[in-house]
Structure 1
Amino acid sequence: MTAARALLRAAQERLAVAGVASPGADAAELLAHVLGISRGRLPLLDDVAADRAAAFEVLISRREAREPLQHLTGVAAFRYVELDVGPGVFVPRPETELLAGWAIEEAMGLERPVVVDLCTGSGAIARSIAHEVPHARVHAVELDPAAHAWAERNLADTGVDLRLGDAFDAFEDLRSQVDIVVCNPPYVPLEAWESVVVEARDHDPHLALFSGGDGLDAIRLLERHASRLLRPGGVLGFEHADVQGQSAPAVLASSARWREVRDHDDLAGRPRFTTARLAR
């Protein structure tokens, strides 16, 4: 048996030295995962059995090497749902919950909203919309076969119309019929390779991360395709990097197709996503 507090303290110190952003929280999450309990029950523990301590050591070593926490637990929390994730799919971030929340609020105000989630990845946004707005008709598309397989798992039994294909020419059958287009596109400039956090750079699919020299290539494609999918007066929302708080909205503002172009901050006060309405 090993003392639980000593085990957690040592793990936290190792993860901190390795550069993990939240060493204490990650150590606690992994120990709770190994023990099959909630993190809230950890303070009640005195000792950890030897076999569980050994399993914890394996996971801490992998996290020390900067393997994503969600790959180790196999799940990622997103708003009110839990998603299966792992190698081959972009791990959804808490910041994207704000974009999903915007789409959900827009959908709630419509009688029978038609929503399209482009670049769905794990299916996080699509599943959240289907969960929180059950009267919505939700469609989603993913280009990468490996990520699409994860989306299939996460969107099973949700009623979401999931397709495999290019986000920027998909859903021609829905042209001018969509109320809301939402997208978390790739937006990292290729030159910013070294600045990307290790967990994302080494483990997330590069197709979901990088988008040309200025990071706006996918957003330019999105602007054109969303204008074809949306009905007049329909709305578009998409995520971008915090340094793109002016350049990303400018892609839409430079076109006569859009009205009410607005950028939104995340909870840390950083520019995070842009919304706009298709001109009538």
Structure 2
Amino acid sequence: MSQQRYFIELAYNGTNYHGWQVQQNAVSVQELLNKALSTVLRQSIETTGCGRTDTGVHAKEFFAHFDVHLAEGETNPLESTPFRGRGGLNALLPYDIAIKNVIPVHADAHARFDATARSYQYHIHFNKDPFLNGFSWQLRDMPNLDLMNEAAATMMQYVDFSCFSKSNTQVKTNNCKISRAEWVITENGIVFHITADRFLRNMVRAIVGTLMMIGRGEIKPEGIRQIIESKNRSNAGTSVPACGLYLTEVKYPYPLTP
């Protein structure tokens, strides 16, 4: 019996799912992916994701790893089907989950712990648009981006972001190193770009909610310091809707090529 580890790259529209992670009495992306892989490989497959996205959050790039056990001389369906198994897997998955690649990796590769950086975007638009509904947060008035970017730059001077984390999460530390935090104007509205080595649960949506308070003039940009230093979630802004949030990139210290 031999074993091969794979990374699987996928993208998904999170509208219909209770996030990535398997949950009781709720449909998740991981649950459907595990079922599809188990069907194709004719064995029980359990994936490990690069992180977890909350209910309604989208992913343009997401990685997970899993192990395949093969008897001596047995053909691996992932290696024998076109595009390393993409076609067969996509046929079993709903339209809002798409497999991009299935990549053989070394036995110790880990989709979550090996990731060195993750990037998110949060999209906001201002005019009613049926094609952005569910994929962007609609607001009436443009906030002050200069003030928001001033506060966003200040955030990068800190590492402890307890104030932006959901309570009672099972993590050893709330430290994160942010390398980019910036609002940009786009054709449809504005987008917040943020990159860090790791993220806490609900962190990006809480950050956006806090920056929106600054952009609306409710608090001054330097107020972000007191919020972060308090380490108290109740001092930060409310979490913005999930529909505008996308995981857009996950980086690893080794190449991932099919």
Normalising by structure 1, report the TM-score.
0.26
Name the structure with the higher strand share.
Answer: 2
Name the structure with the higher helix share.
Answer: 1
Query: Relative CO higher for 1 or 2, CA cutoff 8 Å, sep ≥ 6?
Result: 2
